[in-house]
Amino acid sequence: MTTTTMTVLDGTIINVALPQIARALNVSSGAVVWVANGYLLTAAMTLAIFAALASIFGYRNQYAAGLAVFTFASLGCALQPSINALIVMRLLQGLGAAAILRTYPSSLESLLPRLASGGGLSCMTCLVVAWLAMLARAWPALASHRVGV
């Protein structure tokens, strides 16, 4: 559930930083919007592909590979000095996120009986949404807190 929350949050929280990224890299808002769009489009377009790959290579292997790609690309995003390199890293993050997100419903189906898997998926989705809502509610207080002030 933590990685699912992380991938969903990473797809949306970048919107807060887009103006600062545009200023720091000295690019237009039209160019910097691809930092967010690249991640979301890549993740959405590859979910079906990763569904097929998970049944071939196994859910655990796909989850581990997706987490490794997502983590590597996250580090890459932090180190990129140009908008083009940042967009490429966000595309890689989207691939890793899709691999992680696709294993989530499949792992629930393997853990729960066939009739209960719909209820389990609904319950876990509600937990992820509740977690994101709590983060959104607490974000102003967290963002305004300054360490050492």
Residue 88 has pLDDT above 90, yes or no: yes
Confirm whether 147 is domain-assigned: no
Confirm whether 64 is domain-assigned: yes
For residues 46 and 94, the answer to whether their CB atoms sit within 8 Å is: yes
pLDDT in tens, 96-142: 999 998 887 666 666 666 555 566 667 766 766 776 677 667 666 65
C-alpha 19/C-alpha 58 separation (Å) is: 40
Confirm whether 148 is domain-assigned: no
**pLDDT at residue 70, as a whole number:** 94
Spell out the long-range contacts of 25-31 with Cβ–Cβ below 8 A and sequence spacing 24 or more: 25/81, 25/82, 25/83, 25/86, 27/83, 31/83
Confirm whether 129 is domain-assigned: yes
pLDDT in tens, 22-51: 999 999 988 999 999 999 999 999 988 998
The residue whose two tokens read 């590859």 is 46
**pLDDT at residue 148, as a whole number:** 44
Residue 1 has pLDDT above 70, yes or no: no
Domain count, the chain: 1
Complete DSSP assignment for 107-131 = HHHHHS-GGGHHHHHHHHHHHHHHH
Confirm whether 149 is domain-assigned: no
Confirm whether 6 is domain-assigned: yes
CA pseudo-torsion sign 132, 136, 141, 147:
positive
The pTM is what?
A: 0.74
Confirm whether 110 is domain-assigned: yes
**What is the span of the domain harbouring residue 51?**
2-142
Residue 149 has pLDDT above 50, yes or no: no
Q: Could you tell me the CATH number of the domain that includes residue 19?
A: 1.20.1250.20
Confirm whether 131 is domain-assigned: yes
